[in-house]
Structure 1
């Protein structure tokens, strides 16, 4: 009877997950040193659940159609994270600040495709740190967008880059050793 307990426990545990779905980006989302609020944002983004103007329009919710960071294209999550000129400048600034050879997104691939390809092409010892800085940058892009939309803040790559670098340094000091390995101390 005691030999059957591990088998029963395992089969019960596996039964809990029958019919569940998994995200192809779950490892990117959850296996990094970024704060949980950043990871939660990335998870929502992977499910296309962030309230950008295109999502508001799809749900028939009244909204301002102008994109608050560049006013060049309708606001979509893809545009915000990798397609917008404002975002591209931010990505270039942050990724050139790090000791990693990751090419900034050019908008041709989705955020998650670009992220996955960037991680796959990086040395294994730097992957977790690179993934963390990507999550922090995406999260801060979203927060900066929200500050512009809801608080009337003016888009500023300088302010945004400073905030991302500050938070990255704080997380490195708090023990995110992989992140510390890719940061330039300035």
Structure 2
């Protein structure tokens, strides 16, 4: 034997020194169940051992909204949207000021709920739907505010509220992008009008929960 084969032989020999043979027949045991028997459900659960769950997955993926809006919210929850804050962390060129208010450093929480422009938008939309929920404050976290608002709202309006939050946040982000890339002046009136029109279209497309909270006219 060559040197490599000899080393492999001695390693194997050391490993089997502790093996105790018996006359008991071998049996197959599934380690993911107490009984040792295989089940499809235990195999499925084993796939997720060691995984983590994003705390905001439920309102994002359980709401009725187009896939692009849900995917945007998912990126927000993972901090993967290219705000000024994220561009700064990656050493990329950026304008630090929020494109909507031109006052504060742009983060996703600032853009969606802390910015005075965004809070005016939320006030107009929530007032339009007459929803009994608190407005975001200047130091609010978007997902914390969203979760707290759902918990404080009647069960009958939660589906519609979820869709409305998704629509409004997605519209704020698109309005910011138009201001950034097309150099158009931000307008709360224009944004609120767009959100209302989109809400009516979403309700016609099948958003039953949203249809129940938006005004008829």
- In the superposition, the TM-score normalised over structure 2's length comes to 0.80
Report the alpha carbon displacement of residue 77 of structure 1 after superposing the two structures with TM.
0.7
Large movers: runs of 4+ above 6 Å: none
Displacement of 1:7:
4.8
Question: How many angstroms does 1:34 deviate by?
Answer: 1.4
SS in structure 1 at match of 2:212? helix
1:41-56 mapped onto 2 (5 Å cutoff): 41-56=72-87
Q: Name the counterpart of 2:151.
A: 120
Rounded to whole Å, the distance in 2 between the matches of 1:149 and 1:113 is 27
1:164 to 195, 203, 208: 195
Q: Which moved more, 1:157-166 or 1:12-21?
A: 12-21
**Structure 1 CA distance for aligned equivalents of residues 100 and 121 of structure 2:** 12
Q: Which runs of 5+ in 2 are unaligned?
A: 1-34
Contact 2:161 2:210 (8 Å CA) reproduced: yes
Larger % of helix: which? Answer: 1
Kindly indicate whether residue 96 of structure 2 is the aligned counterpart of residue 65 of structure 1. yes
Which structure has the greater CA radius of gyration? 2
Aligned to 2:174: 143
CA distance in 2, matches of 1:143, 1:166: 15
Structure of higher RCO (CA pairs closer than 8 Å, 6+ residues apart) = 1
Equivalent-residue separation in structure 1 for 2:94 and 2:111 (angstroms): 16
For the Cα contact (< 8 Å) 2:84–2:107, is it kept in 1? yes
Select the residue among 15, 19, 32 that pairs with 2:46: 15
CA RMSD of the aligned region, Å? 1.5
1:75-120 deviation per Cα after TM superposition (whole angstroms, max 9, x unaligned) = 1111101111100110001110113212221123211111111110
User: 3-state DSSP class of the match of 2:153?
Assistant: coil
SS in 2 for 1:114: helix
C-alpha displacement at 1:157, in angstroms? 0.7
User: Which structure 1 residue ranges, 5 or more long, are not aligned?
Assistant: none
